Amino acid sequence: MTQLTPGQIYLADQRGVFEDAQKRRFSTFNYSNYYYEHRSPRSDLRVFNEWYLAPQARVELSVEQEGYLILLPLTGELICQINGVGPTSVNVDEVLMQYVSAGTRFCLIDPDSKESVNFLHVEVSSSAKIDLDFVRKVPFDLASSPDKLLLLTPYSSEIPIKLHVGYFAGRKETVCQLSGSSSVLFAFVMNGAFEIQGRLLHKGDGLALWDTTETDIEALSENAVLLTFESS
């Protein structure tokens, strides 16, 4: 029997929603004008938004806390300009990470004239004093390594967070090893369904776990895709 460790589920249909003619945002945690007492983050992972931009639409945002800005396209190409620098193109099967100071402004654009872009916008606060010019774009290939979590960002002095992504067939299992019991794991279902440490999750659901050093993961559907963040 799987040991039930402390955790909190963030259901997809309870996310904060903002929408206009050009864009739609789903916020897993409290963000902007969306606030609910049980949707606060439990770690340095402070912002977790899923966005849809209409063709050739743009959104301009700013970072509240110093740390890492992470952008992960789910469909389409995303153009990013940070403090007027760029543009930088990020595509499906790539993740962009950049260290930014509080108040940094950035613009996100869908360059396509016909198709919308769907992407994740993540912010992780950090007090680490590193080079503010730090930027990294990491490619990955889920199809080449199925049924396991691919490590995209190992812990280091530059990146105090650990990011995994994995593509699974139905009923395939894995174990996510954490760096220590003081870490907090946040898992987000990008597609399909999973059972994670005794909790059932569907597409768009998130789960935070703490006081544990490993997490049991089982895919419950075909073509299931999972994203995990480990942070303090």
pLDDT digits (tens, 9 = 90+) for 147-174: 999 999 866 656 778 999 999 999 999 9
Architecture of domain 15-138: Sandwich (2.60)
- What gap in Å lies between CA 151 and CA 148, rounded to an integer? 10
- CATH of region 140-231, choose from 2.40.30.200, 3.30.530.20, 3.40.50.1820, 2.60.120.10: 2.60.120.10
Q: How far apart are CA 188 and CA 15, in angstroms?
A: 13
CA atoms within 13 A on the CB side of 178: 22
In which element (H, E) is residue 20 found?
A: none
> Which regions in the chain score pLDDT beneath 70?
1-3, 128-133, 154-158
pLDDT at 206: 97
Q: What is the DSSP secondary structure assignment for residue 143, as one 8-state letter? A: G
The pLDDT value recorded for residue 1 is: 47
pTM to 2 decimal places = 0.94
Position 154 scores a pLDDT of 65
Q: Among residues of the chain, what percentage have pLDDT more than 90?
A: 75
Q: What is the reported pLDDT for 2?
A: 61
CATH 2.60.120.10 in the chain is located at 15-138, 140-231
